[in-house]
Amino acid sequence: MSGPAREYGFSLSSELRAPPEEVWSHATDMQGVNREFFPLVRMTWPGPDSRLHAPPALGQRMFRSWILLFGLLPIDYDDLSLAEFEPGRRFLECSVMFSQKQWVHERIVTPTTTGCRLTDSVRFIPRLRALGALQLAVFRLSFRWRHRNLRRLFSRGQRKAA
C-alpha cells in the first residue's frame, strides 16, 4: 500500500552584480538557461525564439523541453507551463516531467544596491517515491551549479566565489 505522495523542496539565492533587467533577460532566455546548466545538461525548445514570454493562457503547456545529459543523451522532459509571470521580476513554472508528477520552479529577481538577488525555489513530487531523496540531492547540486555559473556570468568587480 502506498501512502500520500511526498513533496521535496529547496531554495537558493545569489547576489549578482548586474542590473535586474539584464539578469531577467538572461533568466527568461532558454539559451541563458543552458549557459547556467553548461556542461551538465541542455534543454531544448521549439522554433527560433528562445525567450520565455507570458504564454497566451497561463497554466497551459507552452512546449516540451527535452533535458539532454551533457547536451546529448535524453534523460527527462519538461512539459513547460507557466502558472504566473511578472515581467522583469518573477515567474512560477508548474510543469509535469517524465520523472516528476509535479515540478514547481519559482525564480525571482529582486533589485539590490549592488545589482540584484536571484532566488530559485523548487518543489517537486517524484513519480517514484523511492527516488525522491536521490532526486533532491541531484536537483540541489544542479541548482548550485547553475548559481555558480550565474555568479561567474554576473560578477562585475566581484571576487569569484570559491
Give the model's pLDDT for residue 160: 40
Residue 80 placed within a domain: yes
Give domain status of residue 160, yes or no: no
Q: Identify the DSSP state of 17.
A: B
Between CA 153 and CA 120, with CA 34 as vertex, the angle to 5 degrees is 70
| Domain presence at residue 111 | yes
Q: What DSSP assignment string belongs to 70-99?
A: TTTEEEEEEEEEEEEEETTTEEEEEEEESS
Say which CATH number the domain at 137 has. 3.30.530.20
Per-10-residue mean pLDDT of the chain, 162 residues long, equals: 81 97 95 95 87 77 94 96 94 96 98 97 97 97 97 70 38
Cell representation of residue 2? 502506498
Query: For the chain, what is the domain count?
Result: 1
For residues 121 and 114, is the Cβ–Cβ distance under 8 A? no
Residue 156's pLDDT is what? 64
pLDDT recorded at residue 48 = 74
Q: What is the pLDDT of residue 3?
A: 63
Measured over the CA atoms of residue 51, residue 109, residue 88 and residue 122, the dihedral's sign is positive
How many Cα atoms are found within 13 Å in the side-chain-facing hemisphere of 83?
A: 11
Residue 43 within any structural domain of the chain: yes
Q: Which domain holds residue 125?
A: 21-153
Residue 46 domain flag: yes
Q: Which residues contact 97 (CB under 8 A, 6 or more apart)?
A: 76, 77, 78, 79, 103
Rounded Cα–Cα distance for residues 8 and 124 (Å): 5
In a domain, 47, yes or no: yes
Residue 7 forms part of a structural domain? no
**What whole-number distance in Å separates Cα of residue 66 and Cα of residue 82?**
17
Contacts of 123 (CB under 8 A, 6+ apart): 7, 8, 9, 102, 104
Residue 11 lies in a domain: no
